[in-house]
Chain A
Amino acid sequence: MSEYVFLYRGGRRAESPAEGEKQMQRWVTWLQDLAAKGHIKDQGQPLDREGKVVRRNGGSRPVITDGPYPESKDIVGGYTLIEAKDIEQAAELAGGCPIFEFDGLVEVRPVMQM
């Protein structure tokens, strides 16, 4: 078994509580199913969509700006740590994520093991 991170990118936020509840139920069901099959290493955390971006821009001091912007398409909204046989299986597991119905995508990245 190897470890993979699912990075949830994009995906519009619910516009109404009712829609949000529908979205959430799908996620809970999907993750519970993965957990039941022993694929969840760490259920991860959601990330706030507003924050700061820090750059050096070649200068001597960091430049801090607002961002990434919530409206940017590929913003990371959260992550989950997964266990799978190989990257193919991990990718297949990601295929069931409800994020696709809400215009988002899942980036599957192997965790480098020392």
Chain B
Amino acid sequence: MELDDQLFRRDSGRIVTVLTRIFGFENLALAEDVAQDVFCRALEVWKLRGVPDNPSAWLMKAAKNRAIDLLRRERTGRGAEERLSRLLQSEWTMTATVDELFTTSSINDDQLRMMFSCCDPALAEETQVPLILQLLCGFTADEIAAAFLIRRDAVAKRIERGKKILAASKHLFDMTDADLPERLSAVHRALYLLFNEGYHGASKETPVRAELCREAMRLAALLLDNPRVSTSASHALCAMMWLHAARLPARVGAGELVSLYDQDRTLWDAVLVEKGISFLEQAAQGEHVSEYHLQAAIAAVHARAEKAEETDWAQIVWLYDTLMEITPSPIVALNRAIAVAQRDGPEAGITAINAITQNDRLASYPFFPAAMGELELRAGRAQAARGHFEEAVSLARSASERRFLQRRAAAAVPDASRR
């Protein structure tokens, strides 16, 4: 039997979470050691006996036994919250309590709390996401570095610093805490970043990145299971993720990036689209409109168009206008300009792009010159288009982005001005 790549990562995240609940953040290192040890021992057994039918259940049972051993040896639920600690100290209640902590619903609740812990305002955003990936999703520093295209030691340093701050908070975040609403926005933001990183970076060379999307979706779905945090914005975030994820098979299917306009829409995952639309309907029941509502609504307009030419661009421009009011950013402005070009023609798009205030972030964003290239090409100025595409190639952040942009540059010849 082949082992699922994600098996260890996911179960490791679960084990670390439950053991942190039992032993507190001060013993996070212990929790991580146990998770690792449980898996290595499992492999020793499996290599002779074969992989069991339900490896996940096997791992969780082994972790549970290790937790009980540790508790017996220590005679204390050191680090646990007060009430839990009492239950863990008595032999009468200990086993049943640990059993309860290892049930799926309890693990899910605790993963949610861990997620809120990782989004502590004392932690920088650039630390929150790697911490979530490590503690909840079982990624190693190497895997995180590979996924985010950053240096391993930089990741390791952030995580280490983050864990020190977490240690000070003792227990998993309390979902009845008054800070909940602010934490929830931070959690939304972190999951949004996690998803986007996976979505925009997904390619055949970095398969781990599609997994970032899956993990972001799994964690976001946990929000919907808890009435305290299954807000309208949480639904909107899920809608946005599901609708975008639906396009992934068409986006990277052939091993190369395919732009939204050129995607084979029959490859879009209808189940994810339907689910995304239903999340969006639930999100619409709230009074507050978040950026996630608008992002999801834009994705929904695309999802409804069976062909790229049938897209309701006027609707999309309107949604981007609203998005600019809530969260103005050069990237949003760029996407708006592209939508304007679709609605009013390339010249209008170029005017809109030229009106965007330049900043450093946009200056290194390959799809900024690429967008100019597309519009110049459509306006019949192949020479100018080529220059923009070449600039975009020089800014490419991955091999697949580079190949994609090189193909566009090669297409910028005078007789190819009509797409």
**Given A17-B8, A21-B8, A24-B3: A46 and B47 interface contact (C-beta under 8 Å):** yes
B227 at the interface (CB under 8 A from A): no
User: Hey, which chain A residues are within 8 Å of B8, CB to CB?
Assistant: 17, 21
Do the beta carbons of A20 and B43 come within 8 Å of each other? yes
Report the Cα distance A80→B49, complex, angstroms. 10
Do the beta carbons of A80 and B48 come within 8 Å of each other? yes
Q: How many chain B residues touch the partner (CB < 8 A)?
A: 18
Q: How large is the interface on A (under 10, 10 to 19, 20 to 34, 35 or more residues)?
A: 20 to 34
Report the Cα distance A25→B49, complex, angstroms. 12
Partner among B36, B44, B46 whose Cβ is within 8 Å of the Cβ of A17: B36
B410 at the interface (CB under 8 A from A): no
Do the beta carbons of A31 and B40 come within 8 Å of each other? no
How distant is B391 from chain A, measured CB to nearest CB, in Å?
39
A8-23 interface bits toward B, Cβ cutoff 8 Å, 1 = contact, 0 = none = 0000011011101101
User: Hey, which chain A residues are within 8 Å of B36, CB to CB?
Assistant: 16-17
Do the beta carbons of A28 and B39 come within 8 Å of each other? no
User: Hey, which chain A residues are within 8 Å of B43, CB to CB?
Assistant: 14, 17, 20-21, 23-24
**Given A17-B12, A17-B40, A23-B43: A43 and B3 interface contact (C-beta under 8 Å):** no
Report the Cα distance A28→B49, complex, angstroms. 8
Do the beta carbons of A45 and B44 come within 8 Å of each other? no
How distant is A51 from chain B, measured CB to nearest CB, in Å?
14
Do the beta carbons of A24 and B49 come within 8 Å of each other? no
Interface centre among B12, B39, B43, B140 (most CB of A within 10 A): B43
B32-48 interface bits toward A, Cβ cutoff 8 Å, 1 = contact, 0 = none = 00001001100111111
**Which 9 residue pairs are nearest across A and B when measured between Cβ atoms?**
A27-B47, A20-B43, A24-B47, A24-B43, A17-B8, A46-B44, A17-B39, A20-B40, A46-B48
What are 22 A-B contacts with C-beta separation under 8 Å? A13-B44, A16-B36, A16-B140, A17-B12, A17-B39, A17-B40, A17-B43, A20-B39, A20-B43, A21-B3, A21-B43, A23-B43, A24-B46, A24-B47, A24-B51, A25-B2, A28-B47, A28-B50, A31-B47, A31-B50, A46-B49, A80-B48
Report which A residues bind B (CB closer than 8 A).
13-14, 16-18, 20-21, 23-25, 27-28, 31, 43-46, 77-78, 80
Q: A14-B40, A20-B39, A24-B47 are in contact. List 11 more A-B contacts (CB 8 A).
A: A16-B36, A17-B39, A20-B40, A21-B43, A24-B3, A25-B2, A43-B49, A43-B50, A45-B49, A46-B49, A77-B44
